[in-house]
Each structure stands twice: as C-alpha cells, then as structure tokens.
Amino acid sequence: MRIITLVENTALSPEMEAEHGLSLLIEPNGRRLLFDMGQSPAFARNAGRLGIDLGTVDTAILSHGHYDHGGGLAEFLRQNAAAPVYLSSFAFEPHFNGPERNIGLCPSLRDCGRLRFVEANTDLGGGLSLSPCIGAVPVVPVDPAGLFTRRESSLLPEDFRHEQYLTAEADGRRIVFSGCSHRGILNIVHWLRPDVLIGGFHFKHLDLQKPEHRAALEDTARRLLDSGAVFYTCHCTGEAAYRFLKERMGDRLHTLSTGSILTL
C-alpha cells in the first residue's frame, strides 16, 4: 500500500504547497482512494506536480465536516466525474471554532448528487471499511477543545459525531486512517485496534508549559506504546506535541509532510 500526502501543514520541498489541512491519496490493492481534500484546491495542484490524475480516483472519503478537510471538495468534484464521496450524515451540521467562527463545509455541495452519507459501519470492498463509531464508549473523555456545533438553534460543545475512520485490511494488518482524531486518539485506538494508524492527533491546542497538559501527553505516549501500533501523524498534532511524543515513542511515531510517499 502506498500513501501520498497531497497536502499537510508542512512540505518536503518549496515546490509543494502546504496549508493547514490534510489530504492523502491511498493506493491499496489496485484501488485509488482520496482521503480528505484540504481546505483549498492546493491538494489538487500538488497532485498535478506529482503527476497524479485525480480523475482516476475511484473513491473519496471525507473524515469529518471541517473546512480544512473538505474545503477542496468542490475542486475534487470538478476534476473527477464519477467517484462517490463518503461522509458522515452529520458532516453538514454547523461547526464552529468558538461561538462565531464557521469552520463547516459549503452547504451548497450537499445536493451535488455524488455524496454517500454514512450512518453505520460501511464495507467499501477489498478489505476497506468505514467506521463512524457512533455509540462507542470512550475510555478517555472527548475534549471539545473550544469547538462547537449548532443543533435546534442551540450552540453546544462538539461531540464530533460527524467523524469517521477508514480501515484497510492488508497483509494481516489493520491500517486505520483518521483525519483529526477529534474524539480522542486513545479512544480510536481502543475502538479499532490498529496495527498502524495514520492521521492527526489534534494536540495543537495543548500548552506544554502547563503541568496537566504535559501529564496528559505523558499518559498518551505510554498508552500508545502499550497498544503495539505504529503511528504516522500530521496536520493538527502540533509541532511541540509531536516532539514531546517522539522523544518518548521513538521509532513507533513518525510524521508526514506534503509530498511524502509512505509504503506499507
């Protein structure tokens, strides 16, 4: 399996565009999947620089309903005429950073005719599946981290029910893809039991000068090591949090950048 990072917060070279967002091209067993589309058409321009024709993607997946993962959806639909796009049935709910800053998807795309709304575990064939984990019991509390949703005119702390995860079964291993792990990386590892997990950890808001945040990351490092999995993280993990975890996890933790190619 090959995973190409089409966009991420950092880049391997000045020729590649970086932005606060995530887009991965995944090539398992002859398939070509697009996992998230960044916040702009930058992912598509990077694909062109890498010689990748987005028209050959057979399936697209949106991990959750935030702009930095689905802002490039319109561009993908323009460049690809046929691939279905799988996303949570809750993805188009209003999403906010703080009480006023809208970080949701463009509502005009909801009725484009290409979207496949996921409400339960969904088999994509070829050892690929989507898990929304609705109703799964967390082992650690889900931290809204200052994010909100609006339901029935009430502004509520996010529970991230619009987040879903892709699992690829390959060569006896479970490879899990998570956009931001808003529902907690420890919860996702507990629910899906990956051998490899690829995605953001959403620790960028943590202040490592605060003892409680350092203690939380210490506990996370220990429990991730205990899981036996290998992790490739990116995007919303945060540079300081990544360095802190890397010192403790060694070769069990790696990072991705725009333009990187990972073969598993």
pLDDT digits 0-9 by tens, 100-139: 899 999 999 999 999 999 999 999 999 999 999 999 999 9
Looking at residue 152, what is its pLDDT?
A: 87
Q: In the predicted model, is pLDDT for residue 153 greater than 90?
A: no
pLDDT recorded at residue 247 = 98
Would you state the pLDDT for residue 116? Answer: 98
pLDDT for 127: 96
Number of independent structural domains in the chain: 1
pLDDT computed for residue 47 by the predictor: 98
Q: Mapping DSSP to helix (H, G, I), strand (E, B) and coil, where does residue 55 land?
A: helix
- In this predicted structure, the answer to whether residue 150 has a pLDDT above a threshold of 90 is yes
Q: Sorting pLDDT into bands at 50, 70 and 90, what band is 29?
A: confident
For 191-235, how does the pLDDT look when each residue is reduced to its tens digit (9 = 90+)?
A: 999 999 999 999 999 999 999 999 999 999 999 999 999 999 999
Q: Considering the chain, what is the average pLDDT of its residues?
A: 97
Q: Rounded CA gap, 62 and 49, in Å?
A: 23
pLDDT of 205 reads: 92
CB distance 221 to 245 below 8 Å: yes
As a whole number of angstroms, the distance between CA 4 and CA 14 comes to 17
- pLDDT for res 170: 84
Question: What integer pLDDT is reported at residue 99 of this predicted model?
Answer: 87
Whole-number Å distance between alpha carbons of 260 and 140? 32
**pTM for the predicted model, two decimal places:** 0.97
For residue 250, CA distances in Å to 33, 154, 156, 185 come to 30, 44, 38, 18
Please check whether residue 122 is in contact with residue 133, taking contact to mean a CB–CB distance below 8 angstroms. Answer: no
Q: What CATH number corresponds to the domain at position 118? A: 3.60.15.10
Share of the chain above pLDDT 70, in %: 100
pLDDT tens digits along 79-94: 999 999 999 999 999 9
Query: Which structural domain range is residue 126 located in?
Result: 2-263
